[in-house]
Amino acid sequence: MAGQISTSQQRLHPAGDPFDSRLLDVGDGHRLYVEQYGNPKGRPVLVLHGGPGGGCSPYMRRFFDPAYYRVILFDQRGCGRSRPAASVEANTTQHLIADICLIRQKLEIDKWILFGGSWGATLALAYAQAHPEHASGLVLRGVFLARQSELDWFYGGGAGRFFPDLWAQFLDPIPESEHDDLIAAYHRRLFSEDTGRQARFALPWLMWENALAGLQSSPSSSAPSEYARAFARLENHYFTNGCFLEESQLLRDRHRIEHLPAVIVQGRYDMVCPPVSAYELADGWTRCELNFVPASGHALSEPRIAAELVRVMDMIRDNDHQRAG
């Protein structure tokens, strides 16, 4: 089912503090920051942040009624409060799926809703297809299927046709002779031995994505150096390696999760993850509801997208209450 939603007025739930936070040793020298928020006996939801490399934030707790949901958030390997920062050692999609399995076991959770946007949607799909028995549903935003066509759109000039001034800024640090493969060109610099050089090239990488994330985004030329370095290195590492997935794997293996309910919230004017991917994912998936959000781009913080995600999670809560009767 696909449709364009009307403008929703749902407000974010009040801010609150986690009832549990910890650093979890997952092996390979990595320790992950994990937190739990809301009702310790509530319906579990796993929040998967974007990037790769973005990290979770207190804002991400506010899409869930804390009286009903038990919300689990974690910073993936190498980013946020996880350590070591900006590390790409033993850092692949398969490692992240194994980390999610360990978190589930440590927290003694049988099944959970998977809530993720952008790269978080990619990881939600990859995990659910690997372990469908532990997923109770998916709520996805700004779908990214990790296909070469999507990387070509964003780093091969497609999106640049709509933002030629910002695209020129992204190209500027790279010699013209290397413009045929910008992911590889940035990779050589983000993974040089000089951490100062890494930081200098991390900022334009981060700014290109951030400038296009929201429909009303205004370009910024600054960000905390360590955040920019972690984000750019991790994202580039994953994109250099095709996100450690086979081409079109997430569409090919959709049959493994078609029995699960899913909702996709997709900005109609998403320039980072164009809506065609969400449409192709939902097409033919009977239990998947695709909602195009008008006058909206990619970012989780866009008012209409945020409101629709709150509405979806409140709807799941209300439907659960009705079934419990």
Q: Which sequence positions are flagged as catalytic?
A: 118, 270, 298
> Which residues, in sequence order, are bridge partners of residue 83?
31
Kindly list the distances between the CA atom of residue 278 and the CA atoms of 290, 305, 316, in Å, as whole numbers in the listed order: 8, 15, 21
Kindly list the distances between the CA atom of residue 41 and the CA atoms of 150, 217, 248, in Å, as whole numbers in the listed order: 39, 38, 37
Q: What's phi and psi for 277, nearest 5 deg?
A: -70, -45
Distance of CA 90 to the CA centre of its chain: 20
Nearest residue to 269 (alpha-carbon basis) of 297, 290, 293, 292? 297
Q: How far apart are CA 299 and CA 252, in angstroms?
A: 27
Q: How far apart are CA 171 and CA 6, in angstroms?
A: 38
> Which residues, in sequence order, are bridge partners of residue 288?
262
DSSP 47-109: EE-STTTT---GGGGGGS-TTTEEEEEEPPTTSTTSBSTT--TT-SHHHHHHHHHHHHHHTT-
Q: How many helices (H) and strands (E) does the chain have?
A: 10, 9
Q: How many CB atoms lie within 10 A of CB 246?
A: 11
